[in-house]
Chain A
């Protein structure tokens, strides 16, 4: 059985559904979203919900600032509380190199209109009184950063696009993408063929596999990242606390649980979403180093998701040179949720041939061909 669609979006996560949402909002609903598992089953439903604007690269700061504004209005737009808590991000520096880098970051961020403050360890302790600052050299704090509840956002988009007439097909796996010359002609799935000339690759950790089906090579590599949740407590922690040095981040959810993760520098490339003993032990120890009272706290669950990582830790957005209607929306390197609103909007504009509301040419996959890359350093985990 063969059918037709104006556009096929591969991936039922925040970026796939967010793009479908922006398309539908513009009245373009001839869209099918394909998800090989269930909506929000990938990294979109496995991350810590952090929304941070404190980045080192101009591109990411711009994307995050614009996205934060869009998140601020999202509850009203989708008609449901997204639990966006702007308790700030407290970024801790543990050595002189970090202090130096943070000074530069803050200068750049302030120049771009972001109100980040460079704070002393003592001031950091005022923000989080339980914090052990014995090894903290300095910190940066931005009060409009925060956390959002990822499931509410993704399911909010899913509900909205369905209401507008977009079809979401769960448990439907893409098996091939048919290409004739420089045009896509169809997407093959385990449930049938959909004829289309426009495809959005928002498959997260699987995006390089999807690209390869159309004969396109992406530099993205999937890496496991692990995360956990503790028992709930009465509210005590306002900001998300992070350290690039330790690769750790943690915050308190609206429901009182501490949600946080830590990256394993020895993690091997590959699709692996199992939990490790390394994480259990390292996360517990590091949390106790940061806030010693964590010794009396139990972890409730641990789980894992995939970072879809690029060489410069920046996303790949927009069409590829070989196929001009094969849009990439991947390679987010662990921060795909927080920049999703604006890149989804721009992707929808590109698909509809409109003038993009933000210039994102620098994020094209072509940047990897010999160009100087602007490395993003402020990656946690």
Chain B
């Protein structure tokens, strides 16, 4: 089998665990401890992960972070396992199940009685927002439990190998992965109880969470809940858009920067916002050819500095362009793109074919906040924040008492704002639990000033307008 693992990289060093082996449909597959099943299979050249239910079209993995269900397989007799968030283990038996799995034949051992605990704070999501909230609360003496589906915490920071911008924050100039490590270290030091590899199932009145861990069902009765569940990538409608080889930019970053696996040989990047431009450059760093970046708008969307890096490396950035269809039957073999006129209509005669084996979609994100909605929070559609978002107070409390939200799940911005919102929620929870103090009020003022500062730049105008539309005490009430 081929091996798509990156051996040399100018910036990253991949510390792989020891070599292990597992069974994939009767074939022995090599993997490294720490990889997910999906990552290991992809590294070994597997492209088709599942099949669509009705038309049996091949599906690859798309999001790589457990949100899209394109990678589910039967693992050790258990159907519907999300292989992109399940760590690979020695001797595992993995098989695909086509459109629908068979109902299991084996009866697994029973799981123990649900474990019930009373805690102060539950945080859902271990990215910059969740970790920041947890740290502040734990530093002030709260019993904080943080749940995350992944085995690594740090959210999407762990795949961000570029340096952050920002004029006044200490984070500026730091790479995302280092920031994630700092936050994790701080969280551990502050005594946050980290629960990696757990799935929060739902909210139950009052302020109770059902959580699935490796040991079965766990129930947490809390005094406050923070949802920091991040975002989901947007998708684009075009012919053949479900072919394996079409991945979200986040999925590509996970493969490449977290597991050191290249997504393919030749990538067409769709979208020239910062994500598209940065991931394009990261692909070059990993030795992958970026054939072109296309952008539907008349101008590229991200920072000049990122665009220049790509252009210097010879990657064309074609504005006023969109994709018409993907080519190929079992996987991507190319794409047809064309020019758009001022009315967003295709310009006749401009169609051209590009050769590529990966189409990377970087056309923005929308908040992942189904949990907040399930908890009963009042939602509002705010285009400026990427979709439906919870109505919140200035302290980021939703309309459900004691349920807070922070980061992209409250509205799409970027990691620094997510971390600051997390800190703000942390402070609000400390006040809720232990009463207010000068220290906490001062800290809140500083954080709010920091967030305002972040939203002052030209790229901040959009979210600034959005936040106004869903924050109580401002315009809504």
Contact = CB atoms under 8 A, between A and B. Distances in A.
Interface in A228-246: 231-234, 236-237
A256 interface: yes
A81 to B, nearest CB: 13
Interface in A286-300: 288, 292-293, 295-299
B102 interface: yes
Interface stretch (B200-208, B227-235, B423-431): B200-208
Contacts of B217: 281, 284
Nearest to B101: A233
Contacts of A231: 79-80
A37 interface: no
Nearest to A234: B100
Interface in B447-469: none
A277 B208 contact: yes
Nearest to B97: A234
Interface in A146-167: none
B379 to A, nearest CB: 16
A285 to B, nearest CB: 10
A296 B78 CA distance: 6
A234 B102 contact: yes
Contacts of A255: 53
Interface in B65-103: 77-80, 100-103
Given A275-B204, A276-B204, A281-B114, A293 B104 contact: yes
B111 A295 contact: yes
Given A231-B80, A281-B217, A296 B104 contact: yes
Nearest to A295: B108
Given A281-B217, A296-B79, A274 B104 contact: no
B437 interface: no
A292 B106 CA distance: 9
A375 interface: no
Contact of B102 (A236, A274, A298, A299): A236
Contacts of A233: 79, 100-103
A280 B201 contact: yes
B79 A274 contact: no
B100 A295 contact: no
B219 interface: yes
Contacts of B376: 274
B477 interface: no
Nearest to A255: B53
A187 to B, nearest CB: 29
Nearest to B202: A275
Contacts of B106: 293, 296
A366 interface: no
B110 interface: yes
Q: How large is the interface on B (under 10, 10 to 19, 20 to 34, 35 or more residues)?
A: 20 to 34
B228 to A, nearest CB: 22
Q: How large is the interface on A (under 10, 10 to 19, 20 to 34, 35 or more residues)?
A: 20 to 34
A296 B77 contact: yes
Contacts of B53: 232, 255-256
B210 interface: yes
A231 B217 CA distance: 18
B100 to A, nearest CB: 5
Given A232-B100, A277-B204, A277-B208, A298 B111 contact: no
Contacts of B208: 277
B462 to A, nearest CB: 31
A175 interface: no
Contacts of A296: 77-79, 104, 106, 108
Interface in B32-87: 53, 77-80
Interface in A257-286: 274-277, 280-281, 284
B476 interface: no
Contact of A277 (B104, B107, B210): B210
Interface in B89-145: 100-108, 110-111, 114
A357 interface: no
Contacts of A234: 100-103
Nearest to A302: B202
Interface string B126-166: 00000000000000000000000000000000000000000
B107 A295 contact: yes
Contacts of B110: 288, 295
A30 B363 CA distance: 49
A276 B105 CA distance: 30
A277 B219 CA distance: 9
A293 B105 contact: yes
Contacts of A256: 53, 100
A286 to B, nearest CB: 14
Contacts of B105: 293
Interface in B201-242: 201-202, 204-205, 208, 210, 217, 219
Contact of B79 (A288, A297, A302): A297
Contacts of B107: 292-293, 295
Contacts of B114: 281
A298 B210 contact: no
A288 to B, nearest CB: 8
A273 B114 CA distance: 24
Nearest to B102: A234
A231 B100 CA distance: 10
Nearest to A298: B80
Contacts of A277: 204, 208, 210, 219
A236 B205 contact: no
6 contacts: A234-B102, A236-B103, A277-B204, A277-B208, A280-B210, A297-B79
Interface of B: 53, 77-80, 100-108, 110-111, 114, 201-202, 204-205, 208, 210, 217, 219, 376
Given A295-B111, A297-B104, 18 more contacts: A231-B79, A233-B79, A233-B101, A233-B102, A233-B103, A234-B101, A234-B103, A236-B103, A237-B103, A255-B53, A274-B205, A277-B208, A280-B202, A284-B217, A288-B110, A295-B110, A296-B79, A296-B104
Top 6 A-B pairs, shortest CB-CB distance: A292-B107, A236-B103, A277-B204, A233-B103, A234-B100, A293-B104
Interface of A: 130, 231-234, 236-237, 255-256, 274-277, 280-281, 284, 288, 292-293, 295-299, 302
